[in-house]
Amino acid sequence: MVLVGLREDAKTYVWSKKKACKEVGIESFEENLPEDSSEEEVVNVVGKFNDDPSVHGILVQLPLPKHINEERVLAAVNVEKDVDGFHPLNIGKLAMQGRSPLFVPCTPRGCIELLLRSNIDIKGKHAVVIGRSNIVGTPAAMLLQQHQATVSVVHSYTPNPAEITNRADIVIAAAGVAHLVRGDWIKPGAVVIDVGINLIEDPSAKKGYRLVGDVCFKEAVTKASAITPVPGGVGPMTIAMLLCNTLESAKRAFGISDQ
Amino acid sequence: MVLVGLREDAKTYVWSKKKACKEVGIESFEENLPEDSSEEEVVNVVGKFNDDPSVHGILVQLPLPKHINEERVLAAVNVEKDVDGFHPLNIGKLAMQGRSPLFVPCTPRGCIELLLRSNIDIKGKHAVVIGRSNIVGTPAAMLLQQHQATVSVVHSYTPNPAEITNRADIVIAAAGVAHLVRGDWIKPGAVVIDVGINLIEDPSAKKGYRLVGDVCFKEAVTKASAITPVPGGVGPMTIAMLLCNTLESAKRAFGISDQ
């Protein structure tokens, strides 16, 4: 893990990932760089992990401080250790037919895993992805399409997101807007996966705030045939898929096949 | 141009590309390999063009003979000379926000150019792409989304392609199925771009066949506000964009900026 000027809210993620590694027996290394580190210094730390044969997965905790070029740092990660799956080469292969990415980004992979393990058919279904970020929306749309869904991507320039979402059999909400998706956006019987993690003020909460998703759960739950909560739905899957990607990377490095 | 066991129907494309190069003053080189060439031989020819500083664009004419691994040959093309834009790194960057591919695949780029030059708004419009090939459907969907359209991709597993297409403001048909898109698929006033090039038997034609698109033109033209014909619509744009990509590549190699 490469951490630069770790923000308070990122500490929880990092802690959860370290804990999960320990539970399954994956050794984790971390390098904590100060907020004012230069891009060069960050790239050098990535290079050190690239060269270390005992490291099979490299995670650069995002967002990076604004003076650092995220594209350059991510491109420095050896594509064979890119367990986040954010390298454009991985994203390109994910988008293309007949190509196999080395890694699938963790959160979208977790969304699909939730569907598969809940025996929800994807093939031939209409899926709507709300949001088109590089780390969730875009790869989630690619994965759903790989599983033979018809996919529509709704974003901030979509004039009628509720109308389009209302036609979906499967909704993946990844816009990063608290309670964006209301009950009337959901077709009765649809499956709803809420990737959003938003902090909203709540004077009744101990810390003064609480975590909510992109979906207004209490409305959507009355329409959906299946729905994930926030917190506790997709979040733990993201970490589980990170561990899977890391294990697969190690197996590849040691030439261990699944067959 | 790298040509392997050139098929009869590909000869026309190759001839058109050479002619277009000549017209604008781009020198073209070609290497014609026999049908039974080994993968190694094809990769070596690609390597020769990679190393030749007077070459700024490399085109491998597809499809390759079945015994040759297309993925491996295309991956051998130096990404800085990949004027077809088919390299997964280019496709990945095209899919991602905040990244710029070195080249945009020619046919999808031609489709967008047709829309832009016809003053057709893309932003906020609902676009339906029919087909999800690596060379047209998939990159066309990415480009439309970059231009802020809401994009749905319809394919062979879509149970209701007519219904979904009927909601589109912009339709790009790239399924490779003659006359798939009928008049009732088109919303009145929609813009229709037909990428299909299909040979159908026609006893009344001199050669016994004729070229038709994926769209039933005579039906769709009564609904659409704008529509491209086949032949003559997208085809010439593909070649024009190939020349653009090659010119941009040469400018990049010589450090000539557009500013």
- The tens digit of pLDDT for each residue in B4-32 reads 997 777 788 888 999 999 999 999 999 99
Domains of chain B by residue range? 2-83, 106-235
Residues 6+ apart with CB under 8 A from B186: B165, B166, B171, B192, B220, B223, B224
B2-83 and B106-235 have identical folds: yes
- Residues 6 or more apart whose CB falls under 8 angstroms from that of B21 comprise B27, B28, B243, B246
pLDDT score, position B259 = 56
Express as a percent the part of chain A with pLDDT over 90: 92
- Lookup: tokens for B227: 């529509």
Spell out the CATH class of A106-234.
alpha beta
* Residues A165 and A145 sit within 8 Å (Cβ to Cβ): no
Whether ipTM exceeds 0.90: yes
Q: Please give the CATH architecture assigned to the domain spanning A2-77.
A: 3-Layer(aba) Sandwich (3.40)
φ and ψ at A212, to 5 degrees? -135, 160
Give CA A247 to chain center in angstroms.
Answer: 18
Give contacts of B90 with chain A, Cβ < 8 Å.
92
Test B148 with A142 for CB contact under 8 angstroms.
no
Which of A88, A123, A132 is opposite residue B157, by nearest beta carbon?
A: A123
> Band of the pLDDT at A7, cuts 50, 70, 90?
confident
CA A137 to chain centre: 9
Q: State whether A93 and B93 contact (CB < 8 Å).
A: no
> Is residue A232 left, alpha or beta, with left meaning phi > 0 and alpha meaning psi from -120 to 50?
left
CATH number corresponding to B106-235: 3.40.50.720
pLDDT at site A208: 92
Prior bond of B231 cis (ω within 30°): yes
Closest CA–CA distance from residue B153 to any residue of chain A (Å): 6
The predicted pLDDT at position A11 comes to 80
Contacts of A76 (CB under 8 A, 6+ apart): A43, A46, A47, A50
Q: Which of B36, B48, B66, B84 is catalytic?
A: B84
Three-class SS string for A89-140?
HHHHHHHCCCCCCCCCCHHHHHHHHHHHHCCCCCCCCEEEEECCCCCCHHHH
Cβ neighbours of B164 in A, within 8 Å: 126, 150
> Residue A96: which of B88, B152, B154 has the nearest Cβ?
B88
Q: What is the pLDDT of residues A81-125, one digit of tens each?
A: 999 999 999 999 999 999 999 999 999 999 999 999 999 999 999
- pLDDT tens by residue, B106-139: 999 999 999 999 999 999 999 999 999 999 999 9
Q: What is the DSSP letter of A82?
A: -
Which residues, 6 or more positions from B221, have their beta carbon under 8 angstroms from its beta carbon? B227
What is the nearest CA distance from B164 to chain A, expressed in angstroms? 10
Q: How far apart (Å, rounded) are the C-alpha atoms in residues B35 and B4? A: 6
pLDDT of residue A259: 56
Tell me the fold of B2-83: Rossmann fold (3.40.50)
Over range B225-249, report the average pLDDT.
96
Checking if the pLDDT of B101 tops 70, the result is: yes
Q: To probe the interface with A, which of B93, B147, B151, B166 has the most A CB atoms within 10 Å?
A: B151
| Cα angle for residues B230, B8, B65 (degrees, 5° grid) | 110
